[in-house]
């Protein structure tokens, strides 16, 4: 493991933040690197149109899942040239989504959100009452935010200096705590999409956070299994898996003091790795200072290893699995990162075909042990 040196660890306070408003009323939260003040004054003079209204969510009676419909997102920005990037600083007369000449890390409400901007509580589907939800869509309550890692247009999370990576971790934690406390929010999901093959619409290094008014389907399934396992055995499911992977050893990639990374035994993707804290915590906000320090090191190292696998950057989705906000789920759940990529060879991608897309029954072309070995070899 590559650890920050004494100068990197420092003794200054953790990253601080300051909240501003954009021209159309959206919230923008600026974070300063440790020992650096965030943007203090901000005036957004853009003549922006009024914010779009709500999308809607529809309840699928067949699966028991909510589906968001956000037709207004068809007009969102798609792969603009670098000189028109909305995530770069506003300099030289060019106005962007960030009306500041410089910044460290900034989180702002998405101009084209899948959920929100309003908040509220969705009706609870319950047996016979589910039929009443059919044909009557609800407002898509919630919040969608963009997390901009750096003012630099080029690069990626892997190329961030340690202190900037540490600030991003602080931003994830602060936003998780703030969003979890909003009315009607049931689940907060930070994630990063990288690469056109994944479907990104902006090249600037960034991630997103979705705050759902319902537990996302995958999170709900994990939460149910975690609650059942705790009730049956008295043990946390992810903690048991982490111990078993450490004992087996052949799928471990990195073992730190507070976090370990491994390729899961039943990996679905040709490239899949989980980064798991050794201590049971429900979300990023619950990590202590030492854990956040190491997370900034290990996550950056993990994506650097992914980048070393091939001659060109590997597309990936980095998904933070945080527990839904209910007390029972927080008691049983365990924070972890799942990083996946469809890249199965230098020039080949795995596409979700009939078995995966229709049935959710995955067929992996690469064994977990092979992937783990390659990631271990990709260390510096």
Catalytic positions are 206
- Report how far residue 111's alpha carbon sits from residue 83's, in angstroms, rounded to the nearest whole number: 19
- Report how far residue 319's alpha carbon sits from residue 198's, in angstroms, rounded to the nearest whole number: 13
Place of tokens 């996550």: 299
Question: What residues form DSSP beta bridges with 101?
Answer: none
Running DSSP on this structure, what letter comes out for residue 122?
A: P
Give the helix ranges, DSSP H, for the chain. 6-9, 162-180, 217-233, 237-248, 289-308, 327-332, 359, 368-377
- Report how far residue 211's alpha carbon sits from residue 144's, in angstroms, rounded to the nearest whole number: 6
User: Beta strands of 219-366 (E only): which ranges?
Assistant: 252-255, 259-262, 271-277, 316-321, 336-341, 343-345, 348-349
- Report how far residue 141's alpha carbon sits from residue 265's, in angstroms, rounded to the nearest whole number: 37
Structure tokens at 198: 């994944």
Structure tokens at 190: 């930070």
CA distance to 16, 115, 206, 318, 328, per residue, from 28 (Å): 14, 17, 14, 23, 32
Helix (H) or strand (E) holding 68: strand 65-69
* Cα diameter, the chain: 62
- Report how far residue 161's alpha carbon sits from residue 114's, in angstroms, rounded to the nearest whole number: 31
Running DSSP on this structure, what letter comes out for residue 26?
A: -
Give the helix ranges, DSSP H, for 106-236. 162-180, 217-233
Contacts for 357 with CB less than 8 Å, ≥ 6 apart? none
Running DSSP on this structure, what letter comes out for residue 14?
A: P
């Amino acid at each position: 493991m590559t650890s920050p040196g004494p100068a990197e660890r420092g003794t200054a306070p953790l990253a601080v933040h300051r909240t501003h408003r954009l021209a159309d009323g959206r919230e923008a939260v600026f974070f300063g690197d440790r020992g650096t003040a965030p943007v203090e004054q901000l005036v957004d003079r853009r003549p922006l149109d009024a914010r779009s209204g709500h999308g809607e969510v529809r309840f699928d009676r067949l699966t028991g899942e909510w589906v968001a419909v956000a037709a207004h997102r068809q007009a969102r920005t798609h792969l603009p040239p670098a000189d028109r990037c909305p995530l770069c600083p506003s300099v030289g007369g060019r106005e962007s989504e960030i009306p500041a000449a410089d910044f460290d890390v900034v989180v702002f409400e998405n101009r084209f959100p899948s959920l929100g901007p309003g908040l509220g509580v969705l009706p609870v589907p319950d047996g016979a009452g589910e039929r009443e939800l059919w044909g009557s869509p609800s407002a898509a309550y919630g919040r969608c935010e963009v997390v901009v890692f750096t003012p630099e247009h080029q690069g990626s999370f892997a190329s961030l200096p340690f202190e900037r990576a540490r600030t991003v971790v602080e931003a994830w934690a602060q936003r998780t705590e703030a969003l979890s406390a909003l009315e009607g929010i049931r689940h907060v999901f930070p994630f990063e999409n990288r690469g056109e093959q994944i479907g990104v619409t902006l090249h600037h290094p960034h991630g997103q956070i979705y705050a759902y008014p319902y537990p996302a389907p995958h999170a709900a399934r994990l939460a149910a299994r975690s609650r059942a396992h705790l009730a049956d055995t008295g043990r946390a499911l992810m903690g048991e898996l982490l111990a078993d992977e450490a004992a087996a050893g052949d799928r471990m990639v990195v073992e730190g003091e507070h976090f370990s990374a491994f390729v899961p035994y039943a990996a679905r993707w040709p490239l899949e790795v989980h980064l798991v804290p050794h201590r049971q915590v429900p979300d990023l906000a619950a990590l202590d200072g030492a854990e956040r320090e190491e997370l900034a090191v290990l996550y950056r190292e993990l994506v650097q290893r992914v980048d070393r696998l091939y001659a060109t950057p590997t597309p990936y989705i980095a998904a933070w699995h945080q527990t839904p906000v209910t007390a029972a789920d927080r008691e049983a759940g365990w924070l972890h990162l799942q990083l996946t990529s469809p890249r199965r060879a230098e020039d080949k991608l795995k596409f979700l075909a009939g078995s995966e897309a229709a049935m959710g029954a995955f067929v992996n072309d690469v064994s977990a042990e092979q992937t783990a070995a390659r990631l271990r070899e990709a260390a510096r």
